[in-house]
């Protein structure tokens, strides 16, 4: 059993990679800014209600770390249903799960509240899997496209 666990852990580590992102803060809504800080590419996802899904062929799931900053004194909503990842061929990928960095009871809840004057990180997974060699992405937030995201290797 211990050997199986070790092999499974090694497999997951070998099939995932994370890259830093150079991105300035961009407006999300009035008084709230956001930026991407990391993008992770993986072949395996657990977003389907606990079922493990393996991306087929040369496709990979993208998990993105976001940082949101509330510049107001009031609590502001963050809704990941308004966020999409767009590749170089204008294919759109939607958020399947979102988790705040901290205690989270339901990763399928895509709406959060950000307290006034606070900064918080969120991890989201985009579906469906994108081509493995796709490295140029933009974000669509509330229907507006951002600049091209530049990935930086660690």
What CATH code is carried by the domain that includes residue 121? 2.60.40.1240
Q: What confidence score (pLDDT) does residue 6 get?
A: 44
Q: What is the DSSP string of 63-103?
A: EEEEEEEE-SSS-EEEEGGGEEEEETT--EEEEEEEEESS-
Reported as a single tens digit per residue, the pLDDT across 99-115 is: 888 766 677 789 999 99
Nearest in space to 139 (alpha carbons), one of 42, 48, 40, 34: 34
Reported as a single tens digit per residue, the pLDDT across 111-131 is: 999 999 999 999 999 999 999
- Please give the model's pTM, rounded to 2 decimal places: 0.81
- Provide block-wise average pLDDT over 10 residues at a time, the chain (154 residues): 44 51 86 92 83 91 94 96 92 92 73 94 94 88 80 47
Residues of the domain holding 97: 18-152
Nearest in space to 47 (alpha carbons), one of 103, 111, 132, 108: 108
Bridge-partner residues for 127, per DSSP?
A: 94
Nearest in space to 86 (alpha carbons), one of 116, 115, 108, 64: 64
Q: What confidence score (pLDDT) does residue 7 get?
A: 39
Is residue 24 included in any domain, yes or no? yes
Query: Domain tally for the chain?
Result: 1
Is residue 45 included in any domain, yes or no? yes
- Tell me if 134 sits within 8 A of 127, measured CB to CB: no
């Amino acid at each position: 059993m211990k050997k199986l666990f070790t092999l499974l852990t090694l497999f997951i580590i070998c099939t995932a990679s994370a890259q830093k992102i150079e991105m300035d803060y961009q407006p999300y809504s009035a008084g709230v800014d956001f930026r991407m800080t990391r993008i992770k590419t993986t072949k395996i996802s657990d977003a389907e209600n606990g079922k493990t899904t393996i991306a087929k062929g040369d496709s990979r799931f993208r998990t993105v770390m976001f940082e949101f900053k509330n510049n107001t004194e009031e609590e502001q909503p963050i809704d990941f249903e308004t966020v999409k990842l767009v590749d170089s061929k204008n294919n759109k990928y939607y958020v399947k799960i979102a988790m705040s960095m901290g205690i989270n009871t339901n990763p399928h809840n895509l709406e959060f509240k950000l307290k006034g004057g606070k900064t918080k990180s969120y991890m989201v997974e985009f579906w469906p899997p994108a081509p493995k060699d796709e490295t140029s992405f933009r974000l669509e937030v509330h229907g507006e496209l951002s600049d091209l995201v530049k990935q930086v290797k660690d």
